[in-house]
Chains A and B, each alone.
Chain A
Amino acid sequence: SQQGEEDPQALSIQEGENATMNCSYKTSINNLQWYRQNSGRGLVHLILIRSNEREKHSGRLRVTLDTSKKSSSLLITASRAADTASYFCATDVRGGSEKLVFGKGMKLTVNP
């Protein structure tokens, strides 16, 4: 069953605005990852945050993790049309990190 659940399911913004996506999960984790999927393509890894980290940055991406609330957020700053894609959070399960469980995904549309 799905571990992660992204919110909102779809988001449409203008170029230059920030986009925030949220992910909630159910069980204890070792790490949480975010992936992007462009239409018709495979998933591409964006960023990983470990359970003992609270915030992580990579370029225009900022990820936070709140293990007490079992939630994470992905912030994309100064969005571009090329950021238009589906975004997925994925979690492993503590004690079984060889597998990931993906959320259902969130569709981001950045309008030029």
Chain B
Amino acid sequence: NAGVTQTPKFRVLKTGQSMTLLCAQDMNHEYMYWYRQDPGMGLRLIHYSVGEGTTAKGEVPDGYNVSRLKKQNFLLGLESAAPSQTSVYFCASREVRSSYEQYFGPGTRLTVT
């Protein structure tokens, strides 16, 4: 099993450009999450999904949109990138009834200039 994968691994955007980050998991997990990690801030939840076709806002959702059209995929979109969105983005997934452990992808490093 590949676990949780994220594409791309690195990306540089100019202010105002758009992009989509893709997260895929092959563990048949119901729950999926998008976090951002900034120095000294830990991980902050952007959006999450408790099942195919459902999404919900996390702690810092502004400037981001998400979609969960297929159970195994969770997409994070930036419609108009801003320098404040420079960060490392992590995707995670979890079973519904389990030890509550989240499985993380390797991250995407995004720089917005």
Contacts of B40 in A (CB 8 A): 104
Q: How many residues of A contact B (CB 8 A)?
A: 23
Question: Which A residue sits closest to B4, measured CB to CB?
Answer: A42
CA distance A101 to B100 in the complex (A): 13
Which of B4, B42, B90, B101 touches A33 (beta carbons < 8 Å)?
B101
Q: Bin chain B's interface residue count.
A: 20 to 34
- Given the contacts A88-B42, A99-B45, A99-B48, A45 and B102 also touching, CB distance less than 8 Å: yes
- Given the contacts A43-B43, A99-B45, A48 and B104 also touching, CB distance less than 8 Å: no
CB <8 Å contact, B41 and A104: yes
- Given the contacts A41-B107, A42-B90, A105-B42, A100 and B99 also touching, CB distance less than 8 Å: no
Within 8 Å of chain A (Cβ to Cβ): is B83? no
Contacts of A2 in B (CB 8 A): 42
Nearest Cβ on chain A to B106's Cβ, whole angstroms: 5
